[in-house]
Every structure is written in C-alpha cells, then in structure tokens.
Chain A
Amino acid sequence: MVKADNVGFRLKNGRKILDGVTLGLKSSEICVVIGPNGAGKSTLMKVMNGIIKPTDGRVNIGDECVSGMQRRDIAKKIAYLPQTTHPVPCSVYETVLLGRKPYMSWYPKRHDYEMTEAVMCELGISAMRDKCVTELSGGEFQKILIARAMVQKADILMLDEPINHLDVKNQLEIMDTAERVTKEHGLSTMIVLHDLNLALRYADSVLLMDGGRPLYCGEKDSLSEEKLSEAYGINISVKKIDDRSVVMY
C-alpha cells in the first residue's frame, strides 16, 4: 500500500504547490482526486510516484520510502500513466509490451510476451495488435495505455486525467475498464479527474484539493456541497437521483 504522510512540495521561490497532504490508497478501491486547475492534483501524483521529491513529509510504499527507491523498483509497484498528448508511431503490441520495461535487461523474455498476450486478451484488444497506435481512436488509445500499465503487474495504478478529450461513451468505457481491473486484480487505484459526476460515480474515496491543500479526504458520500463550492468558487449542489449522486452547478 502507498501512503503519503503530511506531504508538501514548495518551489525554490518558496511558493507552496502541495501542503500537508495525507492520503492512503487501499486495495480494490479507487481514490479519485478532484479540484480546480492548479490545485496540485498532478503534482501530488508525481510526488507519490517518486518523480518529484517532496520538500516536507514522506511517501511510503509498504515500509519503504519512495525517495530512496530506484525508479525501476517503483515501476514494479506503481503503474503510472501521465497525461498523454501524442501517441508514438509503433504497433499496439509493442506499446503494451513496453509495460514490461521494469523487468527487462536487454530484451523482453518469453514470460514478458506471455504476460502481454494475456493482458491484451483480457481487455479484448488482441485483434488490433498489429495496428499502429497513431491510427487508433482516443478511447482505443487510452485502453492500450491501461493495458500497458496492467502489464507492469504493479499493485498500484495511477491515472492522470485518463479521459481528457474523450466523448461520453469512451469516458464511460475507460472508467469501467479502470474499475473492473481495480476490483478484479485487487489494485489500489488513484485517478485524477475533472468530471465531478464521473468522480462520484466511480470513486470509493475522494480527495478534494484546492491551492495545494486537501479540503476533504474520505468517503464520497460524506463530501459536502459546501466543500465543493469552496474549492471551485461556484455554487455546487449534489442531488441523489436513482441512488446515484449527481453534481449540479
């Protein structure tokens, strides 16, 4: 399990990007991080992933502090998908196989190929194995990246705005996939989202951030309209429709 303990990050000019964030990810659960632009959501993900070293507090994976770990070892524990801009021209199969990078020395071994085949089969993307990823739709492309993350065989999955620029159908498909793999493989998943409705629909727990500080961290059902309104600076109400929380603004 990964745990951030009172984590802070400030720039050299003293500006605080993160301040006093404490967060633990549980297995088989999705923690959705929400908040306005510049709230520090992506920075928190990079800090928890060891890409940025915190200036205060610490992040632990089990008993080990992330700051002292090799990148390769972190990648075996955390599969991290940053915001993606452009796909690279290579085949779907090679893209998914790249997820085995933390386990490779010179070349992929038989086990790496078998693992790749198995994950592609599980996500139903085997048919497009020889396609170039630049020819895929946005939804298909995100699915390939999730497959790549799954091939890493890490216990923790971190997705930074995975549904940006996708239409509603593809947004739901990607979130369904993330939810399914989290539950079926017992992963601890952290997702940064902008869509509050999808956040409340898929989250087990929610971290609401504003100005680098956590405004709320806990069960999604206890997240108050006031906290949301305070974070985004607009009036936000949450209604229950058919047993589902719907955010209105």
Chain B
Amino acid sequence: MGGRFFFWLVMTFLLFLFVMLGVKHGAVQSSWGEALMALFRTGNNDDLIYFIWHLRLPKILAALAVGGALAVSGVILQNILRNPLASSFTLGLSQGAAFGATFSIIVMGSGMGSGLLMGNLGMVAFGAFAGAMLSALIILLFSFVKGMTPQGLILAGVAMSAFFSACTMLLQYFSTDTQLAAAVFWTFGDLGKGSWSEALTVLAVMAAGVLFALRHSWDYNAVQWGEMHAEGLGVEVKKIRIYSLIVTSLMSAFATAYYGVIGFVGLIAPHMVRMMFRHTGHSFLIPASALLGGVFLLGADTLAQMVFYPLALPVGVITAFAGVPMFLFILMKRSIKNGKG
C-alpha cells in the first residue's frame, strides 16, 4: 500500500513539474515570473498569454490525453491478446491511421490548403481515423474466425502493419514533393497539431475508455489466468475481447488521427507499472498506466522542446528512442524466461 501511495505522490510531482515546464518552454522565451503571470492571465504580455492559453496548455492536455489513451489501450490489448508486446502500434492501428492520413493528403489534396503543410487538419484527421478503424475492423474480423488464437491476432496485426506501410509508400511514390512533405510531416507524431477542441475530444474518448476498462478490470484479472479459468469465473471472454478491441481501436484512432503516429507509449507505460508493482491487478494497473502514460508523453514532449532549442523535435522520435530498448528488453526477458522454463 505504501508503495502505491509513493507512486501516486511521485506521479503527481512529475505531473506538476512537467506541466510547469510545458507552460514555460516554447518558441517564445519567458521567465518563470512572466510565464506564471500569463498563466493566470495577469500582466500585460498579451502575446505570452495567447501562446500559453492557445498553444501550450492545449498541448499539455493533449499529451496527457493521448499518453493516457495509448497506455490504457496497451494494457487492455496486452491482456485480451495475452501478449506483452501488444499495443495499437504493434497491431497496425497506427500504420492504418498513417495510410488514411497519407491518402487524404495525397489523393484528396487535404494537405494543400493556404500554403501550410497541414492545410485541412479535419480532413486529414478523418482520413487517419478511417484508416485506423479499417485496420481495427480487419483485426476484429479475424477475431471472429473460429479457432483464431490471440497469437494469431498479433500476427494478423503484424501483417496489417506491413500492408498499410506498403500502401503508404506506394502513395508517397506517386506524390509531388509538396504532397510528400505534408504526408511525412503528418506521420511525425506531434502534439502541437491540435487546439483545445482536439485535445478535449481525445480526453473525452480517453476518459470513456478508462471507465470501460475499470468496469472490466476484474474481468481482465480473470482473463489473465486463461480463457477456461475466466469462463469458469463467469466471464464472457469472447464478448469482452470484442468490446475491448472496439474501445482500444477508438482510443488509438482518435489519438492518432489528431496527433499522428506516436509509438511505444502503450508498451512503456504498462510495463513500467508492472515492473514497479509485480503483483498488481488491473484495478490499479489501468489508472496507474493512464497517468504514467500521460506524464511520460508530457515529459517526452518537454524534452523534445528543450534538446535542440529553438528547434522542437516531434515527440514521436523521443518515444521511439525510449520505446525500442524497452521492446527489446521485454523480448529478451521473455526469451530468457522461456529458456529457463
């Protein structure tokens, strides 16, 4: 119990720290005093008030919402597919979204508005959403195939991932330089793409997803023991698996549609919580991963702002640098465990 209290305490501290750093740091430099005054809409630096309230705070909210959504998606997918490497990224949902966005930019011309690379964010987001949902739908259809195992679903995800990547490359091959630039820019996961409305939308979807996951947290605890055990405990495993796939697809699709491909958060956050609390059930794992995912993404974004200041890196680059070693570590740990077994 003490460990959990300490966890919430540290997370709250880190959340506060990264929110304050996120408020202070940006393209326009300011002192701590100026930033705090602008945060409370006092002082006379109207530009800074505008930047904080219209750019930095929506970005902070987006980091927390997207990080939470991807982390909870990861927790659920790893449980229902009984594979620690499952996430919306490894299942091909992100690649489906990238294809949808690329299709929207190159074929529908959505990225060409008013001289900006991201001319029509709404259309691109819709394309990405459709792509992610198409990928999710195919995975869902596979889940209805009689005798399809969770491992089979993961492999189907890998195949979908490769398919959508190939489709994206094909479209890019036939695009103009400007279209290509817009499409590539979109695939960089970047939290600065949306405004309050996008951040609030993802937050609402994330909150609904977390509530769904918490409602079924004890079902997930039972599913951990295997399908037969869960059925014996009164869990309708097939139903839970399908509903969970739909909910995680929606969470990932909304997050990716507005903010691009941000990989590995769904892998890092749940596994960090599991490493800290080895015996924990899902009623703790779900909220803890949501918070850690949000704080991690916010921290990664703050780092992305500060490393090459004034140049801001896309946050997806930072999460990938942190995520790939984690992915390999889990893979190694599993192999060693299997070798011993």
Genuine A/B complex: yes
- Chain A residues in contact with chain B, CB under 8 A? 46, 49, 51, 70-76, 78-85, 88-91, 94, 98-99, 101-102, 104, 106-108, 132, 152
Q: Is B229 an interface residue (CB 8 A)?
A: yes
For the complex of A and B, the 7 pairs showing the least CB-CB separation, nearest first, are A75-B234, A80-B232, A102-B234, A82-B228, A72-B234, A101-B233, A88-B224
**Complex contacts, A99 vs chain B, CB 8 Å:** 233
A75 x B232 contact (CB < 8 A): yes
Nearest chain-A residue to B231 (Cβ)? A51
Total residue contacts A-B, CB cutoff 8 A:
74
Q: Whole-angstrom distance from the CB of B234 to the nearest CB of chain A?
A: 3
Q: Which of A71, A79, A84 has the most chain B CB atoms inside 10 A of its CB?
A: A71
A82 x B221 contact (CB < 8 A): no
With A71-B236, A94-B221, A132-B278 known to touch, is A107 a contact of B283 (CB < 8 Å)? yes
In the assembled complex, the Cα of A46 lies from the Cα of B232 at a distance in Å of: 9
19 further contact pairs, Cβ within 8 A, besides A82-B229, A91-B279, A102-B234 = A46-B228, A49-B232, A72-B234, A73-B234, A74-B234, A76-B234, A82-B226, A82-B232, A83-B228, A84-B225, A84-B229, A89-B278, A89-B279, A98-B221, A101-B219, A101-B233, A107-B283, A132-B279, A152-B233
Q: Which of B199-246 contact A (CB under 8 A)?
A: 214-215, 217-219, 221-222, 224-226, 228-229, 231-236
Q: Whole-angstrom distance from the CB of A97 to the nearest CB of chain B?
A: 9
**Complex contacts, B281 vs chain A, CB 8 Å:** 90, 94
B234 x A101 contact (CB < 8 A): yes
Q: Whole-angstrom distance from the CB of A82 to the nearest CB of chain B?
A: 4
B229 x A94 contact (CB < 8 A): no
Contact partner of B214 (CB less than 8 A), chosen from A84, A85, A106, is A106
With A89-B278, A132-B278 known to touch, is A71 a contact of B218 (CB < 8 Å)? no
1/0 contact trace for B136-160 toward A, CB 8 Å? 0000000000000000000000000
In the assembled complex, the Cα of A67 lies from the Cα of B283 at a distance in Å of: 31
Interface pairs (15), CB distance under 8 Å: A71-B231, A71-B234, A71-B235, A72-B234, A72-B236, A74-B234, A78-B232, A81-B232, A82-B226, A82-B229, A90-B281, A91-B279, A98-B225, A98-B233, A106-B214
A85 x B234 contact (CB < 8 A): no
In the assembled complex, the Cα of A65 lies from the Cα of B44 at a distance in Å of: 75
In the assembled complex, the Cα of A74 lies from the Cα of B231 at a distance in Å of: 9
In the assembled complex, the Cα of A76 lies from the Cα of B235 at a distance in Å of: 12
Nearest chain-B residue to A104 (Cβ)? B218
**Complex contacts, A107 vs chain B, CB 8 Å:** 217-218, 283
**Complex contacts, B226 vs chain A, CB 8 Å:** 82, 84-85
Nearest chain-B residue to A52 (Cβ)? B231
Nearest chain-A residue to B233 (Cβ)? A101
Q: Whole-angstrom distance from the CB of A119 to the nearest CB of chain B?
A: 15
Nearest chain-B residue to A107 (Cβ)? B283
Nearest chain-B residue to A133 (Cβ)? B279
Nearest chain-A residue to B239 (Cβ)? A71
**Complex contacts, A80 vs chain B, CB 8 Å:** 228, 231-232
**Complex contacts, A104 vs chain B, CB 8 Å:** 218
**Complex contacts, B236 vs chain A, CB 8 Å:** 70-72
In the assembled complex, the Cα of A98 lies from the Cα of B231 at a distance in Å of: 12
A94 x B279 contact (CB < 8 A): yes
A79 x B214 contact (CB < 8 A): no
B214 x A101 contact (CB < 8 A): no
**Complex contacts, B224 vs chain A, CB 8 Å:** 88, 90
Q: Whole-angstrom distance from the CB of B191 to the nearest CB of chain A?
A: 32
